[in-house]
Protein backbone atom coordinates (compact mmCIF):
# COMPACT_ATOMS: atom_id res chain seq x y z
CA UNK A 1 0.00 0.00 0.00
CA UNK A 2 1.15 3.55 -0.76
CA UNK A 3 0.71 4.82 2.80
CA UNK A 4 1.63 8.37 1.87
CA UNK A 5 -1.10 8.53 -0.78
CA UNK A 6 -3.59 6.93 1.62
CA UNK A 7 -2.82 9.53 4.30
CA UNK A 8 -3.37 12.35 1.78
CA UNK A 9 -6.69 10.82 0.81
CA UNK A 10 -7.77 10.33 4.43
CA UNK A 11 -6.75 13.83 5.51
CA UNK A 12 -8.83 15.34 2.71
CA UNK A 13 -11.97 13.45 3.76
CA UNK A 14 -14.82 15.49 5.24
CA UNK A 15 -15.20 12.77 7.91
CA UNK A 16 -11.62 13.13 9.19
CA UNK A 17 -10.64 15.58 11.96
CA UNK A 18 -7.36 16.51 13.61
CA UNK A 19 -8.43 19.80 15.19
CA UNK A 20 -11.00 20.78 17.77
CA UNK A 21 -14.55 21.91 17.14
CA UNK A 22 -14.48 25.28 18.90
CA UNK A 23 -15.36 23.96 22.35
CA UNK A 24 -11.96 24.68 23.91
CA UNK A 25 -13.34 27.08 26.53
CA UNK A 26 -15.81 24.57 27.99
CA UNK A 27 -13.34 21.70 27.69
CA UNK A 28 -10.48 23.62 29.32
CA UNK A 29 -12.64 24.34 32.36
CA UNK A 30 -13.55 20.67 32.69
CA UNK A 31 -9.96 19.48 32.22
CA UNK A 32 -8.67 21.96 34.80
CA UNK A 33 -11.25 20.77 37.32
CA UNK A 34 -10.60 17.07 36.72
CA UNK A 35 -6.82 17.02 36.26
CA UNK A 36 -5.12 20.15 37.64
CA UNK A 37 -4.10 20.74 41.28
CA UNK A 38 -3.52 23.82 43.44
CA UNK A 39 -1.09 21.80 45.58
CA UNK A 40 1.11 20.96 42.60
CA UNK A 41 1.09 24.59 41.48
CA UNK A 42 2.12 25.60 45.01
CA UNK A 43 5.07 23.18 44.87
CA UNK A 44 6.10 24.50 41.45
CA UNK A 45 5.99 28.08 42.73
CA UNK A 46 8.12 27.05 45.72
CA UNK A 47 11.05 25.79 43.65
CA UNK A 48 9.59 22.28 43.29
CA UNK A 49 9.94 21.69 47.06
CA UNK A 50 7.40 21.43 49.87
CA UNK A 51 7.88 20.49 53.51
CA UNK A 52 5.18 19.28 55.86
CA UNK A 53 6.13 17.88 59.25
CA UNK A 54 8.83 15.25 58.78
CA UNK A 55 8.38 15.08 54.99
CA UNK A 56 10.20 17.08 52.35
CA UNK A 57 8.82 16.56 48.85
CA UNK A 58 11.18 17.12 45.93
CA UNK A 59 9.29 17.27 42.68
CA UNK A 60 10.99 16.75 39.31
CA UNK A 61 11.11 19.98 37.32
CA UNK A 62 9.43 18.33 34.33
CA UNK A 63 6.76 15.71 34.91
CA UNK A 64 3.19 14.77 34.15
CA UNK A 65 1.00 15.67 31.18
CA UNK A 66 2.98 16.52 28.06
CA UNK A 67 1.60 18.71 25.29
CA UNK A 68 0.74 15.74 23.07
CA UNK A 69 -1.19 13.99 25.85
CA UNK A 70 -3.01 17.16 26.89
CA UNK A 71 -3.95 17.75 23.26
CA UNK A 72 -5.25 14.20 22.80
CA UNK A 73 -7.40 14.31 25.93
CA UNK A 74 -8.78 17.76 25.04
CA UNK A 75 -9.68 16.57 21.52
CA UNK A 76 -11.47 13.54 22.97
CA UNK A 77 -13.50 15.78 25.28
CA UNK A 78 -14.28 18.15 22.41
CA UNK A 79 -15.45 15.21 20.31
CA UNK A 80 -18.01 14.27 22.94
CA UNK A 81 -19.14 17.94 23.12
CA UNK A 82 -19.52 18.07 19.34
CA UNK A 83 -21.39 14.78 19.06
CA UNK A 84 -23.41 14.54 22.30
CA UNK A 85 -25.78 11.81 21.10
CA UNK A 86 -23.56 9.77 18.78
CA UNK A 87 -21.89 6.53 19.72
CA UNK A 88 -18.15 7.17 20.14
CA UNK A 89 -15.44 4.52 20.07
CA UNK A 90 -11.75 4.46 20.99
CA UNK A 91 -9.40 2.10 19.14
CA UNK A 92 -7.10 1.88 22.21
CA UNK A 93 -6.68 3.66 25.53
CA UNK A 94 -6.45 7.38 24.73
CA UNK A 95 -3.32 7.50 26.92
CA UNK A 96 -1.86 5.13 29.49
CA UNK A 97 -3.61 6.51 32.55
CA UNK A 98 -6.44 4.65 34.28
CA UNK A 99 -8.25 7.72 35.66
CA UNK A 100 -8.37 9.48 32.28
CA UNK A 101 -9.64 6.38 30.49
CA UNK A 102 -12.23 5.81 33.22
CA UNK A 103 -13.46 9.39 32.84
CA UNK A 104 -13.94 8.81 29.11
CA UNK A 105 -15.88 5.61 29.79
CA UNK A 106 -18.17 7.60 32.10
CA UNK A 107 -18.72 9.97 29.16
CA UNK A 108 -19.96 6.94 27.18
CA UNK A 109 -16.82 6.73 25.06
CA UNK A 110 -16.47 3.00 24.43
CA UNK A 111 -13.47 0.84 23.53
CA UNK A 112 -13.47 -1.31 20.40
CA UNK A 113 -14.04 -4.85 21.78
CA UNK A 114 -11.31 -7.46 21.49
CA UNK A 115 -12.09 -11.11 20.71
CA UNK A 116 -10.51 -14.20 22.28
CA UNK A 117 -7.75 -14.07 19.65
CA UNK A 118 -6.81 -10.55 20.84
CA UNK A 119 -8.12 -9.07 17.60
CA UNK A 120 -10.23 -5.91 17.57
CA UNK A 121 -13.79 -6.37 16.37
CA UNK A 122 -14.55 -3.34 14.22
CA UNK A 123 -17.88 -4.82 13.13
CA UNK A 124 -19.48 -2.91 16.04
CA UNK A 125 -18.73 0.43 14.31
CA UNK A 126 -21.55 1.84 12.21
CA UNK A 127 -21.35 4.55 9.55
CA UNK A 128 -23.06 7.08 11.85
CA UNK A 129 -20.56 6.45 14.68
CA UNK A 130 -17.47 8.44 15.66
CA UNK A 131 -14.09 6.79 16.25
CA UNK A 132 -11.22 8.39 18.19
CA UNK A 133 -7.66 7.38 17.32
CA UNK A 134 -5.51 7.69 20.49
CA UNK A 135 -2.32 9.65 21.12
CA UNK A 136 -0.26 6.56 20.17
CA UNK A 137 -1.92 6.49 16.75
CA UNK A 138 -3.58 3.63 14.89
CA UNK A 139 -2.36 1.26 12.21
CA UNK A 140 -2.75 2.03 8.53
CA UNK A 141 -5.03 -1.00 8.24
CA UNK A 142 -7.32 0.26 11.02
CA UNK A 143 -7.51 3.73 9.49
CA UNK A 144 -8.24 2.27 6.06
CA UNK A 145 -11.02 0.08 7.46
CA UNK A 146 -12.62 3.00 9.33
CA UNK A 147 -12.35 5.23 6.30
CA UNK A 148 -14.13 2.62 4.18
CA UNK A 149 -16.93 2.43 6.76
CA UNK A 150 -17.53 6.15 6.27
CA UNK A 151 -17.68 6.90 9.99
CA UNK A 152 -16.29 10.11 11.44
CA UNK A 153 -12.66 9.88 12.64
CA UNK A 154 -11.04 12.11 15.27
CA UNK A 155 -7.29 11.57 15.03
CA UNK A 156 -5.50 12.60 18.24
CA UNK A 157 -2.16 11.05 17.23
CA UNK A 158 0.71 12.95 18.84
CA UNK A 159 2.66 14.99 16.25
CA UNK A 160 5.89 13.44 17.57
CA UNK A 161 4.55 9.99 16.67
CA UNK A 162 3.62 11.31 13.22
CA UNK A 163 7.20 12.57 12.89
CA UNK A 164 8.47 9.02 13.43
CA UNK A 165 6.06 7.77 10.77
CA UNK A 166 7.45 10.31 8.30
CA UNK A 167 10.96 9.00 8.94
CA UNK A 168 9.79 5.42 8.50
CA UNK A 169 8.26 6.31 5.14
CA UNK A 170 11.59 7.83 4.03
CA UNK A 171 13.30 4.54 4.93
CA UNK A 172 10.73 2.63 2.90
CA UNK A 173 11.03 4.92 -0.11
CA UNK A 174 14.82 4.45 -0.14
CA UNK A 175 14.52 0.64 0.37
CA UNK A 176 16.16 0.79 3.80
CA UNK A 177 15.19 -1.55 6.63
CA UNK A 178 13.79 0.38 9.59
CA UNK A 179 15.51 -0.50 12.87
CA UNK A 180 12.99 0.63 15.49
CA UNK A 181 14.01 1.03 19.13
CA UNK A 182 10.85 0.07 20.99
CA UNK A 183 8.55 -2.60 22.36
CA UNK A 184 7.09 -4.49 19.43
CA UNK A 185 3.73 -5.09 21.15
CA UNK A 186 3.28 -1.47 22.29
CA UNK A 187 0.39 0.31 20.54
CA UNK A 188 2.65 3.05 19.19
CA UNK A 189 5.19 0.65 17.72
CA UNK A 190 2.43 -1.52 16.24
CA UNK A 191 1.11 1.59 14.49
CA UNK A 192 4.61 2.65 13.40
CA UNK A 193 5.47 -0.71 11.87
CA UNK A 194 2.28 -0.57 9.79
CA UNK A 195 3.81 2.38 7.92
CA UNK A 196 7.11 0.56 7.38
CA UNK A 197 8.33 -1.61 4.55
CA UNK A 198 10.97 -3.94 5.96
CA UNK A 199 11.54 -3.48 9.69
CA UNK A 200 13.10 -4.95 12.82
CA UNK A 201 12.22 -3.86 16.36
CA UNK A 202 15.00 -3.93 18.99
CA UNK A 203 14.07 -3.55 22.66
CA UNK A 204 17.40 -2.40 24.05
CA UNK A 205 21.12 -1.96 23.49
CA UNK A 206 21.80 -5.67 24.08
CA UNK A 207 19.48 -6.67 21.23
CA UNK A 208 21.04 -3.99 19.02
CA UNK A 209 24.52 -5.37 19.77
CA UNK A 210 23.33 -8.85 18.77
CA UNK A 211 22.11 -7.53 15.41
CA UNK A 212 25.26 -5.48 14.81
CA UNK A 213 27.43 -8.52 15.55
CA UNK A 214 25.40 -10.42 12.94
CA UNK A 215 25.98 -7.63 10.41
CA UNK A 216 29.75 -7.75 10.95
CA UNK A 217 30.34 -11.44 11.50
CA UNK A 218 27.29 -13.31 10.25
CA UNK A 219 25.74 -15.98 12.44
CA UNK A 220 22.85 -18.35 12.86
CA UNK A 221 20.03 -16.99 10.70
CA UNK A 222 17.31 -19.18 12.25
CA UNK A 223 18.44 -18.30 15.77
CA UNK A 224 18.10 -14.59 14.96
CA UNK A 225 14.64 -15.03 13.45
CA UNK A 226 13.53 -17.04 16.48
CA UNK A 227 14.96 -14.50 18.90
CA UNK A 228 13.07 -11.67 17.19
CA UNK A 229 9.88 -13.56 16.35
CA UNK A 230 7.00 -11.08 16.18
CA UNK A 231 9.42 -8.16 16.06
CA UNK A 232 10.16 -8.09 12.32
CA UNK A 233 8.34 -7.66 9.03
CA UNK A 234 6.95 -10.60 7.07
CA UNK A 235 9.70 -12.26 5.04
CA UNK A 236 12.51 -10.45 6.88
CA UNK A 237 15.88 -11.91 5.90
CA UNK A 238 18.85 -10.80 8.04
CA UNK A 239 21.30 -11.78 5.31
CA UNK A 240 19.87 -9.28 2.82
CA UNK A 241 17.78 -6.84 4.86
CA UNK A 242 20.55 -5.53 7.13
CA UNK A 243 22.65 -4.07 4.31
CA UNK A 244 20.86 -0.70 4.34
CA UNK A 245 19.23 0.43 7.59
CA UNK A 246 17.51 3.49 9.00
CA UNK A 247 17.01 4.26 12.70
CA UNK A 248 13.71 5.22 14.34
CA UNK A 249 12.18 4.82 17.78
CA UNK A 250 9.10 4.52 19.91
CA UNK A 251 8.87 8.07 21.26
CA UNK A 252 8.70 7.00 24.92
CA UNK A 253 11.97 5.05 25.05
CA UNK A 254 15.02 6.23 26.97
CA UNK A 255 16.66 9.00 24.95
CA UNK A 256 20.20 7.93 25.87
CA UNK A 257 19.63 4.34 24.80
CA UNK A 258 18.09 5.38 21.48
CA UNK A 259 21.14 7.55 20.79
CA UNK A 260 23.49 4.70 21.74
CA UNK A 261 21.67 2.32 19.41
CA UNK A 262 21.85 4.81 16.55
CA UNK A 263 25.58 5.35 17.05
CA UNK A 264 26.18 1.61 17.34
CA UNK A 265 24.56 0.91 13.96
CA UNK A 266 26.41 3.86 12.42
CA UNK A 267 29.78 2.55 13.63
CA UNK A 268 28.91 -1.00 12.58
CA UNK A 269 28.00 -0.03 9.02
CA UNK A 270 31.06 2.20 8.79
CA UNK A 271 33.25 -0.76 9.75
CA UNK A 272 31.39 -3.02 7.32
CA UNK A 273 31.40 -0.74 4.28
CA UNK A 274 33.91 2.01 5.06
CA UNK A 275 33.40 5.74 5.78
CA UNK A 276 33.03 6.66 2.11
CA UNK A 277 30.07 4.27 1.68
CA UNK A 278 28.34 4.95 5.02
CA UNK A 279 25.68 7.29 3.64
CA UNK A 280 24.66 4.60 1.16
CA UNK A 281 23.89 2.18 4.00
CA UNK A 282 22.72 4.24 6.99
CA UNK A 283 19.96 6.80 7.62
CA UNK A 284 19.15 8.50 10.91
CA UNK A 285 16.66 11.23 11.82
CA UNK A 286 16.05 12.79 15.23
CA UNK A 287 12.73 11.30 16.33
CA UNK A 288 13.22 11.58 20.11
CA UNK A 289 10.19 13.28 21.67
CA UNK A 290 11.00 16.58 23.41
CA UNK A 291 8.62 15.87 26.30
CA UNK A 292 10.06 12.41 26.95
CA UNK A 293 13.56 13.88 26.86
CA UNK A 294 12.65 16.72 29.25
CA UNK A 295 11.13 14.34 31.81
CA UNK A 296 14.11 12.03 31.66
CA UNK A 297 16.55 14.93 32.00
CA UNK A 298 14.59 16.24 35.02
CA UNK A 299 14.67 12.77 36.56
CA UNK A 300 18.43 12.48 36.09
CA UNK A 301 18.78 15.83 37.86
CA UNK A 302 16.44 14.86 40.70
CA UNK A 303 18.19 11.55 41.52
CA UNK A 304 21.46 13.45 42.04
CA UNK A 305 19.92 14.89 45.21
CA UNK A 306 19.93 13.12 48.56
CA UNK A 307 16.63 11.24 48.46
CA UNK A 308 15.40 8.62 50.92
CA UNK A 309 13.00 7.16 48.39
CA UNK A 310 11.40 7.83 45.04
CA UNK A 311 7.76 7.59 43.98
CA UNK A 312 7.03 7.34 40.25
CA UNK A 313 3.37 7.88 39.38
CA UNK A 314 1.85 6.64 36.15
CA UNK A 315 0.00 3.85 34.38
CA UNK A 316 1.57 0.42 34.72
CA UNK A 317 1.47 -0.01 30.94
CA UNK A 318 3.09 3.40 30.38
CA UNK A 319 6.47 2.96 28.70
CA UNK A 320 7.79 6.44 29.53
CA UNK A 321 6.83 6.00 33.21
CA UNK A 322 8.68 2.69 33.40
CA UNK A 323 11.82 4.33 32.02
CA UNK A 324 11.64 7.02 34.71
CA UNK A 325 11.58 4.28 37.32
CA UNK A 326 14.64 2.68 35.71
CA UNK A 327 16.61 5.88 36.26
CA UNK A 328 16.04 5.92 40.03
CA UNK A 329 16.68 2.18 40.39
CA UNK A 330 20.00 2.59 38.56
CA UNK A 331 20.95 5.05 41.33
CA UNK A 332 20.00 2.45 43.98
CA UNK A 333 17.23 4.68 45.34
CA UNK A 334 14.28 2.74 46.83
CA UNK A 335 11.66 3.27 44.13
CA UNK A 336 7.90 2.71 44.04
CA UNK A 337 5.87 2.83 40.83
CA UNK A 338 2.16 3.33 41.50
CA UNK A 339 -0.69 4.30 39.20
CA UNK A 340 -2.78 6.15 41.80
CA UNK A 341 -3.00 7.21 45.44
CA UNK A 342 -5.33 4.27 46.06
CA UNK A 343 -2.24 2.03 46.02
CA UNK A 344 -1.15 3.62 49.32
CA UNK A 345 -2.68 2.32 52.57
CA UNK A 346 -4.40 1.27 54.65
CA UNK A 347 -1.81 2.29 57.17
CA UNK A 348 1.82 2.52 56.18
CA UNK A 349 1.68 0.08 53.26
CA UNK A 350 2.01 0.41 49.50
CA UNK A 351 1.12 -1.79 46.55
CA UNK A 352 3.55 -0.98 43.78
CA UNK A 353 4.84 -2.46 40.55
CA UNK A 354 8.41 -3.67 40.67
CA UNK A 355 10.42 -2.97 37.54
CA UNK A 356 9.45 -5.48 34.81
CA UNK A 357 7.70 -7.58 37.48
CA UNK A 358 4.27 -7.97 39.07
CA UNK A 359 2.63 -5.93 41.81
CA UNK A 360 4.19 -6.23 45.25
CA UNK A 361 2.95 -5.12 48.68
CA UNK A 362 5.39 -3.48 51.09
CA UNK A 363 4.54 -2.78 54.73
CA UNK A 364 6.11 0.16 56.58
CA UNK A 365 7.42 1.60 53.33
CA UNK A 366 7.74 5.12 54.79
CA UNK A 367 10.53 5.19 57.40
CA UNK A 368 10.17 7.06 60.67
CA UNK A 369 11.82 10.43 61.22
CA UNK A 370 12.55 13.16 58.68
CA UNK A 371 12.56 11.95 55.06
CA UNK A 372 13.08 13.43 51.61
CA UNK A 373 10.79 11.93 48.97
CA UNK A 374 11.41 12.42 45.27
CA UNK A 375 8.28 12.53 43.10
CA UNK A 376 7.85 12.35 39.35
CA UNK A 377 5.17 11.14 36.98
CA UNK A 378 4.85 9.91 33.45
CA UNK A 379 3.67 12.04 30.55
CA UNK A 380 0.15 10.58 30.81
CA UNK A 381 -0.38 11.39 34.50
CA UNK A 382 -2.60 14.30 35.60
CA UNK A 383 -1.34 16.69 38.29
CA UNK A 384 -4.32 15.83 40.48
CA UNK A 385 -3.22 12.19 40.68
CA UNK A 386 0.27 13.28 41.78
CA UNK A 387 -1.23 15.67 44.35
CA UNK A 388 -3.33 12.86 45.83
CA UNK A 389 -0.20 10.72 46.24
CA UNK A 390 1.67 13.53 47.99
CA UNK A 391 -1.27 14.17 50.33
CA UNK A 392 -1.40 10.47 51.26
CA UNK A 393 2.30 10.58 52.16
CA UNK A 394 1.76 13.64 54.33
CA UNK A 395 -1.21 11.99 56.06
CA UNK A 396 0.68 8.78 56.87
CA UNK A 397 3.72 10.61 58.24
CA UNK A 398 1.52 12.87 60.37
CA UNK A 399 0.33 9.79 62.30
CA UNK A 400 3.78 8.28 62.88
Encode pLDDT of 154-182 as tens digits: 999 999 999 999 999 999 999 999 999 99
CA 119 to CA 24: how far, in whole Å?
35
What is the strand order of the sheet 199-202 is part of? 199-202, 177-181, 245-249, 282-284
pLDDT band at 1 (very low <50, low <70, confident <90, very high): low
Q: What is the mean pLDDT of residues 194-213?
A: 97
Biggest alpha carbon–alpha carbon distance for the chain = 69
Query: Which pLDDT score, from 0 to 100, does residue 9 have?
Result: 83
Q: CB count, 10 Å around CB of 23?
A: 16
Q: Where are the beta strands (DSSP E) in the chain?
A: 16-17, 49-52, 55-59, 88-90, 109-111, 130-133, 152-155, 177-181, 199-202, 245-249, 282-284, 309-313, 335-338, 349-353, 359-363, 371-377
- Which tens digit of pLDDT belongs to each residue from 357-371? 999 999 999 999 999
**Any idea what the Cα angle at residue 309 is, between residues 304 and 314, rounded to 5°?**
95
User: Is pTM beyond 0.85 here?
Assistant: yes
Classify domain 36-66+291-398 at the CATH topology level: Cobalt-precorrin-4 Transmethylase; domain 1 (3.40.1010)
CA 154 to CA 82: how far, in whole Å?
11
Domains 3-28+68-158 and 160-288 share a fold: no
The dihedral sign for the CA sequence 149, 154, 157, 162: positive
Give the dihedral of Cα atoms 18, 23, 28, 30; nearest 10 deg: -110
Q: Which of 93, 187, 188, 257 is catalytic?
A: 188
Q: For domain 160-288, which architecture applies?
A: 3-Layer(aba) Sandwich (3.40)
**Active site annotation includes 14:** no
Classify domain 3-28+68-158 at the CATH topology level: Rossmann fold (3.40.50)
Answer yes or no: are the C-beta atoms of 183 and 189 closer than 8 Å: yes
Q: What is the mean pLDDT of residues 262-276?
A: 96
Q: Phi first, then psi: what are they for 159, rounded to 5°?
A: -55, -25
Domain boundaries, the chain: 3-28+68-158, 36-66+291-398, 160-288
Amino acid sequence: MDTKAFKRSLHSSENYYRKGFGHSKEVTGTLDFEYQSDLIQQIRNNGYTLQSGDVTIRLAEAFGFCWGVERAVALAYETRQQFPTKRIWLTNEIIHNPSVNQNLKEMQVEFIPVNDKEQKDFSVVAQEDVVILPAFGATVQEMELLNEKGCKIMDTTCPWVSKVWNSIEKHKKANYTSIIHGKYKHEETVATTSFAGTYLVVLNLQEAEYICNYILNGGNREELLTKFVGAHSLGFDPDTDLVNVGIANQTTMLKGETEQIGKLFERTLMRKYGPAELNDHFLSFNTICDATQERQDAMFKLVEEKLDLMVVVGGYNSSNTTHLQEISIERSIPSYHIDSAERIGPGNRIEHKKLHKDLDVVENWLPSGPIVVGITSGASTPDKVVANVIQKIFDIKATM
